Amino acid sequence: MRLVWYNHPRSVFRRLRESLRAQLLAWVILTLFGAICFNLYDSFRTADAASKLVTDHTLLASARVIAEAVRVDAGGTVEVDVPPAAIEMFDTGYGDQVFYQVITAWGNLVAGYPELPLPTVERVGQDRAFRNAGVRALTLNHPVVGLPKDGEIAVTVAVTHNAQYALRRRLWFSDFTKQLVLVLLAGVVTIIGLQRGLAPVLRLRDAVRERGRDRLDPLSPSMVQSELRPLVLALNDHMERVQNQMAAQRRFVSNAAHQLRTPLALISTQASVAAREKNTERRDEALQALRNSTHQISRLASQLLTLSRAEPGSRRPRTDVVDLVAVAREVLGTQAEEALRRGIDIGLEENGSVDVEGDGTMLREMLVNLVDNAIRYTPAPGRVTVAVTRQNGTAVLRVEDNGPGIHPMEREHVLERFYRIIGTEGEGSGLGLAIVLEVATGAGGTVWLDDAKGGGLVVTVRLPARAKH
């Protein structure tokens, strides 16, 4: 069965939010769109101003031709015979209508349309409404020889907008198309640049995606630009860590299997011997050995389980408030019988509770393993002391015995998994101190092995203590 994703409108936004390429493209397109809108507006304003300027020049020229034609006859009457050129200069093929008006300074209409709207400033073209249409009008004051009083006439010429608008359209269009071509060109170049710039990132994605489950060899940093190299290096670093982790896991599993195999083989042999043995005494011996082997294997299983629980990420991190003194007292209580049986004196040194934060169960397991080692490896009559103190915000747990101790050369190794010192007597899987180390570091602490004063071993675990309330 194949899953088909339908293009839901929300997925477009999600894609935009999640995809770097889509985001960059969206920004480029948005910028281009803004640039085009601005161009549209700016080129319109330029074209409008140019077309007005051209119309105003023609209006001024026309007004001047009309003004030149104004005469004052012998009786003082002002007359004008409008030359056809003054009107014809507007004949540009757009069917514009031309209106004019000539008045004297004292307000007498000499010729033209009396109701023609007049601009407010001389020699400056202005848009006016006339006969339900828009016109562009311009007034020119002109002196006329022989006129009484102020001696000037005012000539106003107005023309409908057809030619002006046509010119504006033409200018606008040519300017806009030029700018549009430039903007689009810039856009295309940016998008191509973007695609090319992102190509190495996509190549890196494909290289990572196409790798098989077990391929963890480093990626080549030269496949991406210098800015992205730290990312590739970080990835390589991470893969190396994963690889080491996987190798450690493999070693651990094979070690565990190895450790399990020996007692299992023993159990099988001892069971066969017990089954075959007719002599009751010898059969009991074989059954006793069988029980010991079973005990050994069950201890190994429980140590393995504890270690796997102590590993980071295997349990939800817990931050119980744990009083180490109370835990130590409880652990010593449960081990008291075994200590007595082995002829070991056990004691606790403390002066008040010492709280730490961490996983209570795991911290208890840590103490169980330390006390168990001390009791087990110290020959009778021996002495084991657990001391819990607080030193400048640090909880210090010391488990001291007067046994054989551990040679300095061996101290680092005994913290490794499955490591037992050659010649160590009694059963054991070599996981106890590895559990101690894992729990202590998981709670943000350290483990230190040293010689005890009177011989023997002292294990010191330091953990960040919780402030006293």
Ligand X SMILES: Nc1ncnc2c1ncn2[C@@H]1O[C@H](COP(=O)(O)OP(=O)(O)OP(=O)(O)O)[C@@H](O)[C@H]1O
What is the C-alpha separation between 313 and 143, in angstroms, rounded?
102
- Which partner in ligand X, Mg ion, none is near 424 (CB below 5 to 8 A by kind)? ligand X
Tell the smallest beta-carbon distance from residue 443 to ligand X (Å).
18
Q: CA 308 → CA 262, 289, 303, 315, 417, distances in Å? A: 21, 29, 9, 9, 12
- Decide whether 125 or 432 has the Cβ nearer to Mg ion: 432
Nearer to ligand X, 22 or 415 (CB): 415
Using CB under 6 A, list all residues that contact ligand X: 299, 303, 369, 373-374, 377, 401, 403-406, 414, 420-421, 424, 428-434, 457
Residue 303 touches which of Mg ion, ligand X, none (Cβ within 5-8 Å per kind) = ligand X
Residue nearest to Mg ion (CB): 432
Strands 382-391 and 394-401: antiparallel
Which partner, ligand X, Mg ion, none, binds residue 259 by CB below 5 to 8 Å per kind?
none
Residue 269 beta carbon to ligand X: minimum distance, rounded to whole angstroms: 22
Give the total of residues touching Mg ion (CB under 5 A): 2
Restricting to residues 371-390, which ones interact with Mg ion according to CB under 5 A?
A: 373
DSSP secondary structure of 257-318? HHHHHHHHHHHHHHHHHHHH--SHHHHHHHHHHHHHHHHHHHHHHHHHHHHHHHSTTSS---
Closer CB to Mg ion, residue 102 or residue 344?
344
Indicate which of Mg ion, ligand X, none lies near residue 377 (CB less than 5 to 8 Å, by partner kind).
Answer: ligand X
Output the smallest distance, CB 386 to ligand X, in A.
Answer: 12
Q: Which two three-digit tokens encode residue 373?
A: 């080692």
Instruction: Tell whether the torsion through CA atoms of 349, 351, 353 and 358 is positive or negative.
Output: negative
Supply the DSSP string of 168-196, one letter for each residue. HHHHHHHHHHHHHHHHHHHHHHHHHHHHH
Nearest distance from residue 429's CB to Mg ion, in Å?
8
Q: Please identify, using beta-carbon distances, which residue of 52 and 309 lies nearer to Mg ion.
A: 309
* Residue placing its CB nearer to Mg ion in the complex, 168 or 417: 417
* Cβ proximity to ligand X, 293 vs 369, nearer residue: 369
Stretch near Mg ion under the rule CB under 5 A, chosen from 139-147, 220-228, 269-277, 432-440 = 432-440
- Other Cβ atoms within 10 Å of 309 Cβ, number: 16
Tell me whether residue 377 is exposed, middle or buried, using C-beta atoms within 10 angstroms of its C-beta: 0 to 12, 13 to 18, 19 or more.
Answer: buried
List Cβ neighbours of 165 (8 Å cut-off, separation of 6 or more).
Answer: 51
Minimum gap (Å) between residue 261 Cβ and ligand X: 17
**Binding partner of 431, given ligand X, Mg ion, none, CB within 5-8 angstroms per partner class:** ligand X
Q: Which is nearer to Mg ion, 152 or 372 (CB)?
A: 372
Burial of 69 from C-beta contacts in 10 A (0-12 / 13-18 / 19+): middle
Q: Shortest gap between Cβ of 247 and ligand X (angstroms)? A: 21
Site for Mg ion in 345-374 (CB under 5 A): 373
Residue 98 to residue 90: CA distance in whole angstroms: 7
Q: Is there binding between residue 405 and Mg ion (CB under 5 A)? A: no
Nearest approach, Cβ of 376 to Mg ion (angstroms)?
A: 7
Count the neighbouring beta carbons within 10 Å of the beta carbon of residue 46: 15
Is 403 a residue that touches Mg ion (CB under 5 A)? no
- Backbone φ and ψ of 93, nearest 5°: 90, 10
Judged by CB under 5 A, which of 432, 442, 445, 456 binds Mg ion?
432
* Of residues 262 and 424, the one with the C-beta less far from Mg ion: 424
Q: Where are the alpha helices (DSSP H) in 311-399?
A: 324-342, 360-377
Site residues (vs Mg ion, CB under 5 A): 373, 432
